[in-house]
Amino acid sequence: MSVINNIRKHSGWAVGFIGISITLFVLGDLFGNNTLFGGGNNQTLGEIDGKEINIQDFQSRLDVMRQNYEAQTGRAAGEQEMTALREQAWNQLVIDIAYRKQYDKLGLTVTDEEMVDMVQGNNISPAIQQAFANPTTGAFDKSAVINYLKNLNTLPVAQQQAWADFEKNLRADRLRQKYENLIRLSSYVTKAESEREYMAQNTKASLRYLYVPFYSVPDTTVKVSDSQLESYLSDHRDEYKGVDTRTIQYVTFPVLPGKDDSTALSTEIKTLARGLASAANDSAYARMNSDIALPMDMSYASMSDQLKEAVKTFIPGGIYGPYREGDTYFIYKYGGTKKDTVSTARASHILISPANPSDSAKAAARQRAEAILNQIRGGASFEALAATNSTDTQSAQRGGDLGYFQNNGSMVKPFEDAVFSMSSAGLVNRVVESQFGFHIIKVTDPKSNTLYRMAAIAKTIAPSQSTRDEAYRKADQFAASVDSKAEFDEAVKNDKSLVVATANRIPESSSTVNAIQNAREIVRWAFDDKTGMNKASKVFETDEQYVVAVLIGKTEKDEVKVDDFRDELTAKVRNKLKAEQIMAKLGAVGDLDAMAKKYGAGALVETTNDVTLATGLLSSAGFDPLALGEGFGLKKGQKSKVFAGENGVFVMELVDKTEAPKIADYTPYKSQLQQAIESRAAFLLNEAIRDNANIVDRRAKFF
């Protein structure tokens, strides 16, 4: 039975592996009743490469996937799981239809002999190796596969079907690999391209330049008209793709527990605390009475800040609490500590990634990382430097914080080794290199492998029915009083307790509205053909609140308007107008210092030495390929004309240029380019297939 569970597990892995190749669409996650909202009896879910996808056929496929998931996990699929399964089912259809057409054109197949080789031959599939790994050693056991197949016909029908599905996924995965490899290996880098890359990485120039950044001209001094925006959009239509979205404003009426609700729970949890203290099996008692499943063994990292402070005073056998965190009360029976097999730590980092895989780019990245480390050693704020320098944009928003993690391979090895070599909090006194770049690391909570045994009960304050009824009454009264945007605004103005929120450009497939989860009903209302502009909605119930909304904006895929991209277009046109002003004021090209002095505030004259085309950065302007290209194209001592770059207006002067010496072998540079092309091949291939298949996706109308 454990083998078939592994097969189910890795069947999902195989399907998921296929699914990764397709760019995911965002889906809604509430299934209607097989009816097309606002679309009469149309049962067509979409179209792939000219083939219509019927909702019943899709649902049949989805039902099989749901049943496999529930058999694998032992629990019913929730809304979040169903969203993922619908996405997987759709991606399988793309594979089966759009990809299959390409396979057939090329004559690609996976023979039965190949399948035998993948399952029990000399080239075992990774999925088979994982499914039949020895549970003790983790090593693959081929004899287990052979024995399983010998007895396959004696197994229940459901298990035989699971194996058939597993093999089907293996075959599909191998076919996709063949196709992608065929495209990937058909790419070629010429000697001329390799030589050009070598020259870009190794030819160095010293540039002196006049730079007037666009931001030096206040935005308020440059007026942008709608006609200018229309003209710009018309000239750059291909850059601005239309999409169906809606913008709404809304107010919420939260269902918050009242004083009576809190009092009732407080009494209940005191009774539970006495029961927990006397329970013969405290862990079983806690599980039966807790609203939230809590682990018996807690690491310090997994605790709330309140519990971290409190646990220092706990004595084994004692009952502690209740502690309130939000709307939840916690009580704990403390059972002492034990040692875990892995350690946990918390750290922050600043990641400096090279611009490309070349040695020169890596050297430049290391040099920059070393400079940042020196700034921190000198007293600079780690968090501030992370926010402005780290190429890990997600952690940069948190000052570099990565949260807690274990030394179990969850982080790349050089990073993990550096963090867990620290016995106390503080800065790792060196730059750490990994495949992602160069890390400056600060350990904020040092390693610990202590686990705290806690029998814990969590009880959440639930609003009573009378509380819910009162919240709905207020929402319904508000909705009944408004029909238009004007009435909506007036009603909000008269009720100081209401706060208007705006959700911009909601896609039709979205299941959320800002932070509101399970909001498909609101999204469907916003996209309903019967919903007019500036019209207010009925009352929607979402999670623990009621919502009343008003539709204030829409964009259409087939009709791109200035308002759809107003902010982006305004910035582009404004910079263009600024460039014209700056260039007119600078006048004719002459001595750079004299030009800057004549221009006045905002003009900078700077020099950048030993810059390359491949990795070049200008001091204040940063990465500006237009300026770099203009500078490298000059002769020694020559100045460029006045021109607009990416971030401002320039006059470039080439002070000196050292050409890269000729070499006999450009193979390393050819390999770099080849690897870059091959790494993009699968993604670009999928994009091309999708575009060629003319996929029409109407799933949001059904789910």
Confirm if 612 and 618 have CB atoms less than 8 A apart. Answer: no
634 — pLDDT class (breaks 50, 70, 90): very high
pLDDT tens, position by position, 109-160 = 999 999 999 999 988 888 888 888 877 777 888 888 999 999 999 988 878 8
Q: Which amino acid is present at 80?
A: Q
Measure Cα distances from 610 to 345, 362, 593, 656 in Å. 41, 15, 22, 9
Element (H, E) at 505: strand 501-507
pLDDT at 648: 95
pLDDT of 105 strictly over 60: yes
Confirm if 136 and 80 have CB atoms less than 8 A apart. Answer: no
Q: What whole-number distance in Å separates Cα of residue 370 and Cα of residue 438?
A: 9
* DSSP classification of residue 560: -
pLDDT of 663 strictly over 80: yes
Confirm if 343 and 420 have CB atoms less than 8 A apart. Answer: yes
Element (H, E) at 48: strand 44-48
pLDDT of 26 strictly over 70: no
Q: Which amino acid is present at 379?
A: G
Confirm if 560 and 233 have CB atoms less than 8 A apart. Answer: yes
- Averaged over 366-375, what is the pLDDT? 91
- Could you tell me what percent of the chain has a pLDDT over 70? 94
List the Cα angle 60/65/66 in 5-degree steps. Answer: 95
List the beta bridge partners of residue 452. Answer: 298, 337
List the beta bridge partners of residue 133. Answer: 140
List the beta bridge partners of residue 248. Answer: 503, 551
Q: What whole-number distance in Å separates Cα of residue 490 and Cα of residue 550?
A: 13
Average pLDDT in the chain? 87
**Number of Cβ atoms within 10 Å of the Cβ of 231:** 12
**Number of Cβ atoms within 10 Å of the Cβ of 230:** 13
Q: What whole-number distance in Å separates Cα of residue 290 and Cα of residue 457?
A: 5
532 — pLDDT class (breaks 50, 70, 90): very high
Q: Which amino acid is present at 160?
A: Q
Sheet (strand 501-507) strand order: 501-507, 245-254, 545-555, 540-542
Q: Could you identify the residue written with the tokens 């269902």?
A: 255
**Number of Cβ atoms within 10 Å of the Cβ of 378:** 7
Q: Which amino acid is present at 152?
A: L
CA 133 to chain centre: 32
SS3 537: coil
pLDDT of 632 strictly over 70: yes
Sheet (strand 204-213) strand order: 604-611, 204-213, 648-658, 643-644
User: What is the token pair recorded at 589?
Assistant: 């090209």
Confirm if 679 and 614 have CB atoms less than 8 A apart. Answer: no
Q: What whole-number distance in Å separates Cα of residue 427 and Cα of residue 81?
A: 41
- Number of residues that this document lists for the chain: 703
Sequence-distant (6+) residues with CB within 8 A of 225 are none
pLDDT at 21: 36
pLDDT at 295: 83
What torsion do the CA atoms of 410, 411, 414, 416 make, to the nearest 10 degrees? -80
Sequence-distant (6+) residues with CB within 8 A of 550 are 248, 249, 250, 482, 484, 485, 488, 534, 535, 536, 537
CA 611 to chain centre: 34
- Averaged over 305-311, what is the pLDDT? 86
- Averaged over 415-441, what is the pLDDT? 93
Q: Which of 128-142, 164-178, 388-402, 427-441 has the largest mean confidence?
A: 427-441
**Number of Cβ atoms within 10 Å of the Cβ of 353:** 18
Q: Rounded to the nearest 5°, which phi and psi values hold at 217?
A: -100, 115
pLDDT at 11: 44
List the beta bridge partners of residue 401. Answer: 348
Helices 142-150, 112-120: crossing angle, 10 deg rounding: 120
pLDDT at 480: 96
Sequence-distant (6+) residues with CB within 8 A of 579 are 214, 644, 649
CA 112 to chain centre: 39
Confirm if 216 and 601 have CB atoms less than 8 A apart. Answer: yes
Q: What whole-number distance in Å separates Cα of residue 702 and Cα of residue 30?
A: 8
pLDDT tens, position by position, 559-598 = 888 988 888 999 999 999 999 999 999 999 999 999 999 9
pLDDT tens, position by position, 468-517 = 899 999 999 999 999 999 999 999 999 989 999 999 999 988 888 998 88
Which of 423-445 are b and which e, b meaning 16 or more Cβ less than 10 Å from the residue's Cβ?
A: eeeeebeebbbbebbbbbbbbbe
Q: How many CA atoms lie within 13 A of 78 on its CB side?
A: 2
Confirm if 353 and 440 have CB atoms less than 8 A apart. Answer: no
Sequence-distant (6+) residues with CB within 8 A of 306 are 323, 325
Q: How many helices (H) and strands (E) does the chain have?
A: 24, 18
pLDDT at 38: 38
Q: What whole-number distance in Å separates Cα of residue 171 and Cα of residue 270?
A: 59
Q: What is the 3-state secondary structure (H, E, C) of 425-469?
A: CEECCCCEEECCEEEEEEEEEEEEEEEEEEEEEEEECCCCHHHHH
List the beta bridge partners of residue 253. Answer: 546
pLDDT at 247: 95
Q: What whole-number distance in Å separates Cα of residue 276 and Cα of residue 271?
A: 9
Q: What whole-number distance in Å separates Cα of residue 552 and Cα of residue 149?
A: 61
25 — pLDDT class (breaks 50, 70, 90): very low
Beta 643-644 vs 648-658: how paired, if at all? antiparallel
Q: What whole-number distance in Å separates Cα of residue 131 and Cα of residue 165?
A: 14
pLDDT of 685 strictly over 50: yes
More confident call, 264 vs 545: 545
pLDDT at 42: 67
pLDDT of 695 strictly over 80: yes
pLDDT at 652: 97
Q: How many CA atoms lie within 13 A of 554 on its CB side?
A: 19
Beta 604-611 vs 328-352: how paired, if at all? unpaired
pLDDT of 270 strictly over 80: yes
pLDDT of 339 strictly over 60: yes
Q: What sign does the CA torsion over 70, 72, 78, 81 have? A: negative
Element (H, E) at 547: strand 545-555
User: Which structural domains are found in the chain, ordered by start?
Assistant: 2-184+695-701 (no CATH), 204-241+566-658 (3.10.50), 249-256+464-555 (no CATH), 257-462 (3.10.50.40)
pTM: 0.57
pLDDT at 41: 54
